[in-house]
Structure 1
């Protein structure tokens, strides 16, 4: 009997796989400078694609006009505010660096300690005794480290060139994706179908829904809370309200809430003697802190029908693992994995209830 099966050429298969791996690594190496900008552009375009479609309908069906309006909105919403923030951060850090470098920084008096009941006077006396025993020497030793740390942070914030490059790439890729979004989406879905059939196509669609859910439920909620909290800080007279607003935005994105910034501001207002604005900011902070309980679930459901705990876990884990872009990567990975796992499990029939299983087992024992 003749064996018609052809023998496999193992060296050829290994060399083919090695060649493909080398080609993939080389391509990733070439496009590495553009990956971050393209990733941000992809998330922005996916999240705002329904808005582009609505603008195109309003603007007489002209895609070019809709893309132009969307690019202007991106510049107004992202580029200009962040650039102004970085500029104000660098400018406001000048007096701090000057005070540290000239030795003008001295330990605070902390006179408000006297207002604390029962233990305030003891705390105030202990603090000044510490200063008399060597507080100036302690500050002199800490000043070089504080100055170096401050200079490092300001230097990191002053890398405007690299930041503007990523922003320019994001705008360029966003314009291209807005212009040819349907073709790009069709190509990605075609590749997913070729790779994993209908499940691959479903995974791509689910990834887009997860990105839109995060953009609506997490980012929009954080922006609303940060802006409202910043308005409260500015009206209450808290200094550096813009900087604290950005910090508040970061704490809201990582799901820590705005109270980490608002509570110290309230305490500072009361200690400075401005109890009226402290009370106003306290009431306003309670309103801002509870907004996410109402806004976030509704917006996430508008983006995708996914469990809230899945989205929030992906946001926090993605931020820890990948940085800011992980805000979208984390929920996408968890959502796609969860849906694929759920589809795989549902291919098997569900088990019978406990009562039916026990009765079947009893019948088998009786017949045996």
Structure 2
């Protein structure tokens, strides 16, 4: 007996898909102002969830007390320092923009090269010969690009109101996620399982590992190094220590390290004759510059090992796409995508055939088709 399937109403299917698409777009449009804050809060909560559970066990099993403690820690250790750093960057951006965009910008003559023993005079002569032979023309060509780039990067920090709003939303959403984390996590896993079965559930768990790896192994390490390095700059009396701390945090996020800021500061102290604080900052810089070799491996083991080029691309791309908050969101998005694609690729074995054999087989198939 042949079972005849009922005819499908094509118009009904099209209208159903259209209605669902409109509903999804409308919902995303409504929650659009909160997406970045929620993503930031999810990253923070997922990374610090084990810490919250430890506080809960210490506080007689009271979730409310543990959430209160975690909120206070986020406020004191993360939100307030980051807000102060961004505010300092905004306050100091005016002179930098003016210097980069003014018309009389020229290469320096570097008179201090004379002081260097043996090679100082030769370096001074060579440098000024280069400047006189074409340095001014080169500077005139690159000046517009320097001004535009500097204005763009520092202009990102002008949106401090938006950044502080996201900080507030992050804190609010973190409180809600700490309080109802298990329920939300089970809901996300249930939705993923409904979409793709066990593979969808595994994808959510792998995404959580990638988020924790980035947050702990990269962001936390960068914050620790930059805060300690900034503390050393302030104690040593370096001018604009807060602004330099912001630059140091950016260098740590892109895996350059804090020494790019600390070494010139040490040189400046010795140059001005303050050898005592220069030596103190030198010792402190050795500690701060090498501590990531001990902190990062321990933290990354809690998540997943990720390529540094991925983190670098995420930080720079996130900054360009989302502004200051993209420093934290960009690496997370790339890390999650990388982990999911990597696991999907490893579900199939590596190709065992030699490249020449594969090419010959394809050529034979093409010849048969032509015949």
Q: Smaller-chain TM-score range?
A: 0.7 to 0.9
Could you say which residue in structure 2 is the equivalent of 1:285?
A: 285
* CA distance in structure 2 between the partners assigned to 1:81 and 1:245 by the alignment: 11
Give the 3-state SS of the residue equivalent to 2:338 in structure 1. Answer: helix
Change (3 A) 1:115 1:30: same
Quick one: which of 294, 315, 321 aligns to 1:319? 315
Give the 3-state SS of the residue equivalent to 2:50 in structure 1. Answer: helix
The answer to whether the 8 Å contact 1:258/1:289 transfers is yes
Could you say which residue in structure 1 is the equivalent of 2:187?
A: 187
Could you say which residue in structure 2 is the equivalent of 1:328?
A: 332
Could you say which residue in structure 1 is the equivalent of 2:299?
A: 299
* Structure 1 residue 233, shift from structure 2 partner: 2.6
* CA distance in structure 1 between the partners assigned to 2:257 and 2:102 by the alignment: 37
Give the 3-state SS of the residue equivalent to 1:345 in structure 2. Answer: coil
Pick which of 283-292 and 45-54 moved more: 283-292
* CA distance in structure 2 between the partners assigned to 1:131 and 1:299 by the alignment: 48
Give the 3-state SS of the residue equivalent to 1:23 in structure 2. Answer: helix
* CA distance in structure 1 between the partners assigned to 2:209 and 2:51 by the alignment: 15
The answer to whether the 8 Å contact 1:318/1:327 transfers is yes
* CA distance in structure 1 between the partners assigned to 2:3 and 2:87 by the alignment: 76
* CA distance in structure 2 between the partners assigned to 1:101 and 1:340 by the alignment: 49
Change (3 A) 1:6 1:91: closer
* CA distance in structure 2 between the partners assigned to 1:127 and 1:18 by the alignment: 67
Pick which of 40-49 and 277-286 moved more: 277-286
Change (3 A) 1:14 1:245: same
* CA distance in structure 2 between the partners assigned to 1:74 and 1:95 by the alignment: 32
The answer to whether the 8 Å contact 1:203/1:340 transfers is no
Give the 3-state SS of the residue equivalent to 1:47 in structure 2. Answer: helix
Count, aligned residues: 344
Change (3 A) 1:199 1:153: closer
* Structure 1 residue 247, shift from structure 2 partner: 1.1
Unaligned runs of 5+ in 2: 319-325, 353-371
Pick which of 209-218 and 31-40 moved more: 209-218
The one of the two structures with greater contact order (alpha-carbon pairs below 8 A, sep at least 6) is: 2
Could you say which residue in structure 2 is the equivalent of 1:113?
A: 113
Give the 5 Å matches for 1:127-146: none
Could you say which residue in structure 2 is the equivalent of 1:19?
A: 19
Per the normalisation by structure 1, the TM-score is 0.77
* Structure 1 residue 71, shift from structure 2 partner: 1.3
Could you say which residue in structure 2 is the equivalent of 1:345?
A: 348
* CA distance in structure 2 between the partners assigned to 1:139 and 1:279 by the alignment: 36
Could you say which residue in structure 2 is the equivalent of 1:208?
A: 208
* CA distance in structure 1 between the partners assigned to 2:6 and 2:340 by the alignment: 39
Q: RMSD of the TM alignment (CA)?
A: 3.9
* Structure 1 residue 87, shift from structure 2 partner: 3.6
* CA distance in structure 1 between the partners assigned to 2:154 and 2:294 by the alignment: 37
For residues 30-51 of structure 1, what are the alpha-carbon distances to aligned partners after superposition, in whole Å with 9 as ceiling and x for unaligned? 1111101110111111111111
Change (3 A) 1:99 1:192: closer
Find out whether 1:58 has 2:62 as its counterpart. no
For residues 149-195 of structure 1, what are the alpha-carbon distances to aligned partners after superposition, in whole Å with 9 as ceiling and x for unaligned? 87776664343322221112111111111111111111101101111
* CA distance in structure 1 between the partners assigned to 2:316 and 2:139 by the alignment: 34
* CA distance in structure 2 between the partners assigned to 1:142 and 1:212 by the alignment: 41
Change (3 A) 1:313 1:196: farther
For residues 249-293 of structure 1, what are the alpha-carbon distances to aligned partners after superposition, in whole Å with 9 as ceiling and x for unaligned? 111111122222223223333443445544554454344333222
Could you say which residue in structure 2 is the equivalent of 1:224?
A: 224
* CA distance in structure 2 between the partners assigned to 1:271 and 1:101 by the alignment: 29
For residues 100-155 of structure 1, what are the alpha-carbon distances to aligned partners after superposition, in whole Å with 9 as ceiling and x for unaligned? 9999999867431112345533555687899999x99x999999998998777666
Could you say which residue in structure 2 is the equivalent of 1:239?
A: 239
Pick which of 86-95 and 322-331 moved more: 86-95
Give the 5 Å matches for 1:167-178: 167-178=167-178
* Structure 1 residue 297, shift from structure 2 partner: 1.6
For residues 173-231 of structure 1, what are the alpha-carbon distances to aligned partners after superposition, in whole Å with 9 as ceiling and x for unaligned? 11111111111111101101111111211211221122122222112222222233223
